[in-house]
Amino acid sequence: MHSKTVVITGGNSGVAKATAIALAGAGARTVITARSGSRGRDALADIRRASGSDLVDLVVFDLADLASVRQGAAVLLDRYDEIHVLVNNAGLVLSERTETADGFESTFGINHLGPFLLTQLLIDRLISSAPARVVNVASTAHRSARHGVGFDDLQSCSGYKGMQVYGRSKLANILFTTELAGRLAGTGVTANSLHPGTVATGFARDGDASGFLALGMRVIKPFTLSPEEGARTSVHLASAPEVAEVTGEYFVRCKTKTPSAAARDEAAAAHLWSVSEELVAEATSAG
Ligand SMILES: NC(=O)c1ccc[n+]([C@@H]2O[C@H](COP(=O)([O-])OP(=O)(O)OC[C@H]3O[C@@H](n4cnc5c(N)ncnc54)[C@H](OP(=O)(O)O)[C@@H]3O)[C@@H](O)[C@H]2O)c1
């Protein structure tokens, strides 16, 4: 990965931090993004130490605020003439319904709309740096969204259930990947999504999830993968030569896997793209 520049969102924690350590250790200039400057700086020191590389940087922005995403993307474009890999990893599950700075339901806003906008803002730089790759961290939880992303209530205004909303957002990650891969055909930029496994991270911790959700995560913790193990598929998709030309696929344990029927709905993928474009544009003009 020498002479490659990799951007990883949510890099201060969990799967992304382990992904950053692996890719920095393989020689990539590795840029982590974090919403908290102090957590980001702590992680930066850890990643430099664990990887033995000084080529690790931090950019701070909040995916729950599209203006902040725009500022973060501007910093990335200003600092890095080439971006070869974008790993959209940051994500969460929330037991209570909250809203982003732009008034979107937070899970949908942070897990889908923020990365959607970030990718759009970086796409020309990825194309001019090609061969390049977009890696979207989805989840097997997408399978719970059997009836799709729920276009009639994308903001989950009625009957909010944290895991259901999370599952729909992870389905959105896969649909976004499908549409992105199609739109990027012929550019030398690939787009793939993945499930990292069930990983012992900060996911669904303290403030993010309460009650049964947090209890459930604690119960399964002894049976989960380490962050290093959970990072393997992200690292594979970001760097392995054998997947350099694979695009539009969903991976589990470094192998392609067929996602749910809802995730293979190409009309839904195209519709989600246009709805997301409209929502981002509305937020921008309102801001
Ligand atoms: N752990 C699992 O078992 C599992 C299974 C399937 C899929 N996944 C997926 O894997 C990805 C990584 O999760 P993880 O398990 O590594 O959890 P994690 O340790 O909680 O990491 C999530 C990262 O996302 C960041 N983040 C959350 N909200 C953000 C925002 N508004 N703006 C910017 N960054 C934000 C977090 O920042 P803070 O530290 O500031 O909160 C953190 O760095 C997620 O997309 C998740 O859906 C995880």
pLDDT at 214: 65
**Structure confidence at residue 209 (pLDDT):** 61
**191 touches 184 (CB < 8 A):** yes
**Would the CB of 88 count as within 6 Å of ligand 1?**
no
Q: pTM for the full model?
A: 0.96
Residue 109 Cβ contacting ligand 1 at under 6 Å:
no
Report the separation in Å between the CA atom of 3 and the middle of ligand 1, taken as the mean of its atom positions.
Answer: 27
Of 126, 11, 14, 99, give the one whose Cα is nearest residue 60: 11
Nearest to 156 by CA among 115, 91, 117, 103: 103
Q: What are the structural domains, with CATH classification, of the chain?
A: 5-286 (3.40.50.720)
203 CA from centroid of ligand 1 (Å): 6
Catalytic residues: 166
Cα 14 to ligand 1 centre (Å): 7
- The secondary structure element, H or E, covering residue 59 is strand 56-60
- 3-class SS of residue 141: helix
Per-block average pLDDT, block size 10, for the chain (287 residues)?
97 97 98 98 98 98 98 98 98 94 98 98 98 98 97 96 96 98 98 95 66 65 87 98 98 98 98 98 85
For residue 202 and ligand 1, the question of a CB distance below 6 A is answered with yes
